[in-house]
Amino acid sequence: MKGSLGLLRIAGIRIGIHYTWLLAFVLITWSLAQGFFPRFFPGWSQTEYWITGVIAALTLFLSVLIHELAHSFVAKASGLPVENITLFIFGGVSNIGGEMKKPRAEFVMAVIGPVSSLVLAAIFWGLRQFAGDSTSPLAATFTYLALVNALLGAFNLLPGFPLDGGRVLRSILWGITRNIRKATNIAATVGQILAFGLIGFGVFQFLQGDFLGGLWVAFIGWFLNGAADASRQEVTLQEHFRGVRVKDIMDATPETVTPEVTVADVVKNIFLRRGRRAAPVCRDGRLAGIVTLTDVKELPQQDWATTAVSEIMATQPLYSVRPEDDLGSAFRLLAQYGINQVLVLQDGKLAGLLSRADVIQHLQLSQEIGMS
Ligand SMILES: [Zn+2]
């Protein structure tokens, strides 16, 4: 997620915080210290309310992190790479590379999140029994954490994609129909119905006088609707990409340059004259890197004539696909790393270059011709 700050690593997974998380942290602390705790546990001092509010909010985010770690550990155990976990305004998100190959594995990965939230709720409920006086700040914190984790587990079990419950529904439909696209479409539709229900409920709450609560619920509905729509579009895209290989649309004879060539030469002869946005850099016929428009733009223009390509080219990591790979997985790579082109390698040798523009052009043409 752009705009997030890396904090620490747990079992190789980078844990980050998105700037919107700070807003959620302030809102939750404030509503706990001035709303929930004074209302249900009167008689503490203001300092006690604020300190308890901060601790309860932080432990809530720790609970969300545990929920996400549960998803990520199952993903890793099934061989999927987990890039990172980011906490943001609506909770947490695990950035998992690729999709599960089997419905059963998807089911386990999805259901483990809500299950871990419900287990946390039970643990906090148990701790509360040992906390003595049930109106003390410690017991009140445990009560709140038990409640909020139970809510988190229950909410995530709602059967609309992309909530965990929607993924559970999709895995079951996928198992029955053996068709992941159809299953995703149905689960996304349920997700959108649910989202509109939440927006309607939020508006109702707002009209009833609960302004902040109403807005919040409507906002979550709006976010869910967008996410469900995005996953439906992804399915439609994959439908388009089905059966198309990278070699079918890649540029099989990309202009290459040697590392000694100057940046000014690349701009003039490759970018401007040939209309390319990137050029593989080869030394004695072997791939050494790639130089792109983005790299060039970062160098002041007065240095173009005196700087060799080798000084600004990207060498690590070099993202690549194979000619036989399907276009869907290549497109995912472009989207996931926010890059404009990817090298096509066959047995370590350069076989072509696939750019975002090639993919988009292919989509537009096949749509115009009426191919599905
Ligand atoms: Zn989850």
313 plus 168 within the same structural domain: no
Q: How confident is the model at residue 10 (pLDDT cuts 50, 70, 90)?
A: confident
8 A C-beta contact, residue 330 and residue 247: no
223 plus 332 within the same structural domain: no
Listed ranges 74-88, 112-126, 293-307, 309-323; the one with the highest mean pLDDT? 112-126
Does residue 115 carry a pLDDT above 90? yes
8 A C-beta contact, residue 138 and residue 124: no
Residues with Cβ–ion distance below 5 A, ligand 1: 113, 164
264 plus 191 within the same structural domain: no
Indicate which CATH number applies to the domain containing 276.
Answer: 3.10.580.10
64 plus 140 within the same structural domain: yes
Q: Which of 189, 206, 241 is the last residue of a domain?
A: 241
166 plus 197 within the same structural domain: yes
How does DSSP classify residue 301?
A: G
111 plus 215 within the same structural domain: yes
Domains of the chain: total:
2
182 plus 302 within the same structural domain: no
pLDDT in tens, 134-149: 888 999 999 999 999 9
32 plus 106 within the same structural domain: yes
The alpha carbon of 164 and the centre of ligand 1 are apart by a number of angstroms equal to: 5
8 A C-beta contact, residue 304 and residue 267: yes
Q: From its phi and psi, is residue 285 left (phi > 0), alpha (psi between -120 and 50) or beta? A: left
Q: How far apart are CA 211 and CA 174, in angstroms?
A: 40
pLDDT in tens, 294-312: 888 888 888 888 888 888 8
The alpha carbon of 242 and the centre of ligand 1 are apart by a number of angstroms equal to: 29
Between 97 and 42, the more confident residue is 42
Beta pairing partners, 9: 14
187 plus 109 within the same structural domain: yes
The alpha carbon of 112 and the centre of ligand 1 are apart by a number of angstroms equal to: 8
Q: In sequence order, what DSSP letters do the residues of 66-89 get, joined into one string?
A: HHHHHHHHHHHHTT--EEEEEEET
30 plus 10 within the same structural domain: yes
Q: Which of 179, 208, 241 is the last residue of a domain?
A: 241
- Residue 260 bears catalytic tag: no
8 A C-beta contact, residue 85 and residue 72: yes
Chain centroid to CA 216: 21
Mean pLDDT of 145-154: 94
Q: What confidence score (pLDDT) does residue 13 get?
A: 83
Is residue 230 classed as helix, strand or coil in its secondary structure?
A: helix
The alpha carbon of 113 and the centre of ligand 1 are apart by a number of angstroms equal to: 4
The alpha carbon of 65 and the centre of ligand 1 are apart by a number of angstroms equal to: 10
Token digits for 143? 């009560």
218 plus 261 within the same structural domain: no
Q: Which of 178, 206, 241 is the last residue of a domain?
A: 241
Residue ranges making up the domain that contains 62: 4-241
Q: Which of 48, 68, 99, 260 is catalytic?
A: 68
Count CB atoms within 10 A of the CB of residue 314. Answer: 16
193 plus 233 within the same structural domain: yes
Q: How confident is the model at residue 363 (pLDDT cuts 50, 70, 90)?
A: confident
pLDDT in tens, 175-187: 999 888 888 889 9
Does residue 1 carry a pLDDT above 70? no
The alpha carbon of 214 and the centre of ligand 1 are apart by a number of angstroms equal to: 23
